[in-house]
Amino acid sequence: MNSKKINIAGAGLVGSLLSIYLKQKGHEVHVYEHRPDMRKTSLDGGRSINLALSDRGWKALEGVGLSEEVRKIAIPMYRRVMHAKDGSLSFQSYGKEKQAIYSVSRGGLNARLMQLAEERGVHLHFDEKCLSAELEKGTATFKHKLSGEAHEVTGDLLIGADGAFSALRQQMQKTDRFSYSQQYIEHGYKELNIPPGKDGQHQMEKEALHIWPRGSYMLIALPNPDGSFTCTLFFPFEGENSFGTLQTPAQARSFFETEFGDALALMPDFDEEWTANPTSSLVIIRCYPWHRGKTALIGDASHAIVPFYGQGMNSGFEDCTVFNQLMEEHGDNWPEILNSFERNRKPDADAIADLAMRNFVEMRDLTGQKAFLLQKKIEAKFSDKHPDKWVPLYSMVTFSHTRYSEALRIGKKQDAIMKEIMALPEIEKIWDSEEVEALMLSRL
Ligand SMILES: Cc1cc2nc3c(=O)[nH]c(=O)nc-3n(C[C@H](O)[C@H](O)[C@H](O)COP(=O)(O)OP(=O)(O)OC[C@H]3O[C@@H](n4cnc5c(N)ncnc54)[C@H](O)[C@@H]3O)c2cc1C
């Protein structure tokens, strides 16, 4: 294989990981990152921010030999713990015994990927903001933030891993027959913290993802290794209960007392954090094609989704796995690699975007409902008995490498069957009967 000079804009999670895959194939790889080197500075004011990593992400990390090391610092979350308003708890396993999603530090993982990239010979350049590009040539102009100087970067291939507001994608948007959509959802989010208890231990069940489902909004919490939890409130920007109506910490506190009392009791710095932590928006980006000439997009730059399935990074990491497979298949035929990549991944990116919105409704609303928990119990039992016939949608997305588009297709079929099952008279009494099992089998 001919060694190429490949430039990447963005040393985020996906850009850093992709750079290692490209280096493994013998290319000269340069990554230009807009921010300073996160390994030397704390960008989040010392806050812990975590992400849920699952099987697609693990596979991609395995491909560069990093999964074992990350596993040591990741916290398994085996189930959802739902907190009702009165503080009572209910539980729902994510998968079969020992199946878990993993809470990992976003900054820690990103920094480790950068470190590995550098150790393997990738050239990292910080404080470099991509301003524009000549897409057909794969040439980009970067401005160094400290010196203020702009310079041109040339190479055989230019890759935009520069996130949801990608500068390279913006350049593509100006070209003919480039389709693009950007949708802000009506909810935003704010992060809050539950610190460790006096003994340094987690103050709620550690190996779980906690949810306070409240219909049109929700609070969630993921554990951190230091004994704290990062909580995220997903909440409308406008309306009766919204960021718009909670203007002061006192208003927010009073709302939390009613809605999330048990969580608030564990947040000693609530007032300060409510004021200091930003309220951020959530956007869905779709576009096509994903390359023009010698410039290509990957990760959030080509498909940003809402975070409710915990699959944004995982799908970006899966992009890297697929990109690597295509390099193996097509060797030096770069036009074919780029064409196959976008053709192959676009339906899956669209599917996970839809699935993520759908999971928002499930998390914020349905997980608080008895009927939904019963439905999940029926599905789990049926799946245990007939694993070849029924894999629950959540498991297909999270614990398998089934294409997202295929998971969505099968999930819709399962929905129709479960709607019929849940409508059976006295389903709560007959849920584990042979009659229910036979009906499900007959519908498959
Ligand atoms: C609240 C929230 C929770 C989430 N939780 C999860 C989760 O649990 N699991 C999961 O899988 N995903 C989750 N995600 C999604 C995940 O964060 C993203 O999908 C992932 O970060 C995408 O990685 P990326 O490298 O493509 O983009 P980014 O992480 O955005 O990285 C882009 C990089 O490019 C740099 N950059 C930007 N512009 C330029 C420029 N002009 N020039 C040079 N560099 C530039 C940026 O500084 C950044 O370093 C969550 C997202 C949010 C918002």
Give me 409's structure tokens. Answer: 């297709």
**Sheet with strand 291-292: strands edge to edge:** 123-125, 28-32, 5-9, 157-160, 295-297, 291-292
Percentage helix, strand, coil for the chain under 3-state DSSP, each rounded to 5: 40, 25, 35
- Cβ of 318 closer than 6 Å to ligand 1, yes or no, is no
- Cβ of 300 closer than 6 Å to ligand 1, yes or no, is yes
- Structure pTM? 0.96
Residue 44: pLDDT band (50, 70, 90) is: low
Give me 300's structure tokens. Answer: 């959030």
250 alpha carbon – ligand 1 mean position (Å): 32
Antiparallel, parallel or unpaired: β 28-32 and 123-125: parallel
Please give the CATH topology (third level) of the domain spanning 5-45+106-181+282-359: FAD/NAD(P)-binding domain (3.50.50)
Q: Average of pLDDT values for 50-74?
A: 96
CA 434 – CA 382 distance, rounded (Å): 11
- Cβ of 273 closer than 6 Å to ligand 1, yes or no, is no
> Which residue puts its alpha carbon closest to atom 19 of ligand 1?
312
CB under 8 A, 24+ apart: contacts of 268-277: 268/195, 269/193, 269/195, 270/192, 273/191, 273/192, 273/193, 274/190, 274/192, 274/246, 274/249, 275/249, 276/45, 277/47, 277/190, 277/191, 277/192
Nearest to 230 by CA among 363, 378, 105, 394: 105
164 alpha carbon – ligand 1 mean position (Å): 7
In the predicted model, is pLDDT for residue 147 greater than 80? yes
- Please report the pLDDT score of residue 45 as a whole number: 54
158 alpha carbon – ligand 1 mean position (Å): 19
12 alpha carbon – ligand 1 mean position (Å): 6
In the predicted model, is pLDDT for residue 43 greater than 70? no
- Cβ of 81 closer than 6 Å to ligand 1, yes or no, is no
290 touches 178 (CB < 8 A): no
In the predicted model, is pLDDT for residue 134 greater than 60? yes
Q: Average of pLDDT values for 34-50?
A: 80
> Which residue puts its alpha carbon closest to atom 31 of ligand 1?
12
Express as a percent the part of the chain with pLDDT over 90: 93
In the predicted model, is pLDDT for residue 136 greater than 70? yes
CB under 8 A, 24+ apart: contacts of 271-277: 273/191, 273/192, 273/193, 274/190, 274/192, 274/246, 274/249, 275/249, 276/45, 277/47, 277/190, 277/191, 277/192
CA 329 – CA 402 distance, rounded (Å): 20
- Cβ of 11 closer than 6 Å to ligand 1, yes or no, is yes
Antiparallel, parallel or unpaired: β 291-292 and 295-297: antiparallel
Q: Average of pLDDT values for 12-32?
A: 98
Residue 375: pLDDT band (50, 70, 90) is: very high
137 touches 24 (CB < 8 A): no
Antiparallel, parallel or unpaired: β 75-77 and 101-105: antiparallel
Q: Average of pLDDT values for 360-384?
A: 89
Atom index in ligand 1 nearest the CA of residue 131 equals: 41
Express as a percent the part of the chain with pLDDT over 70: 98
- Please report the pLDDT score of residue 48 as a whole number: 73
120 alpha carbon – ligand 1 mean position (Å): 23
Q: Average of pLDDT values for 38-43?
A: 79
- Cβ of 285 closer than 6 Å to ligand 1, yes or no, is no
Atom index in ligand 1 nearest the CA of residue 313 equals: 11
> Which of 300, 317, 319 for mutating ligand 1's site (highest number of atoms within 8 Å of CB)?
300
For residue 257, give every residue at least 6 positions away whose Cβ sits within 8 Å of its Cβ, in sequence order, or none: 264
- Please report the pLDDT score of residue 46 as a whole number: 60
Q: What is the CA radius of gyration of the chain?
A: 23
CA 192 – CA 269 distance, rounded (Å): 9
- Cβ of 52 closer than 6 Å to ligand 1, yes or no, is yes
- Cβ of 32 closer than 6 Å to ligand 1, yes or no, is yes
- Cβ of 33 closer than 6 Å to ligand 1, yes or no, is yes
CA 223 – CA 193 distance, rounded (Å): 10
Antiparallel, parallel or unpaired: β 157-160 and 295-297: parallel
343 alpha carbon – ligand 1 mean position (Å): 23
Domains of the chain by residue range: 5-45+106-181+282-359, 369-443
Residue 42: pLDDT band (50, 70, 90) is: low
Sign of the alpha-carbon torsion through 302, 307, 308, 314: positive
- Please report the pLDDT score of residue 281 as a whole number: 97
Is the bond preceding 289 in cis, omega lying within 30 degrees of 0? Answer: yes
- Please report the pLDDT score of residue 97 as a whole number: 84
- Please report the pLDDT score of residue 428 as a whole number: 95
131 alpha carbon – ligand 1 mean position (Å): 18
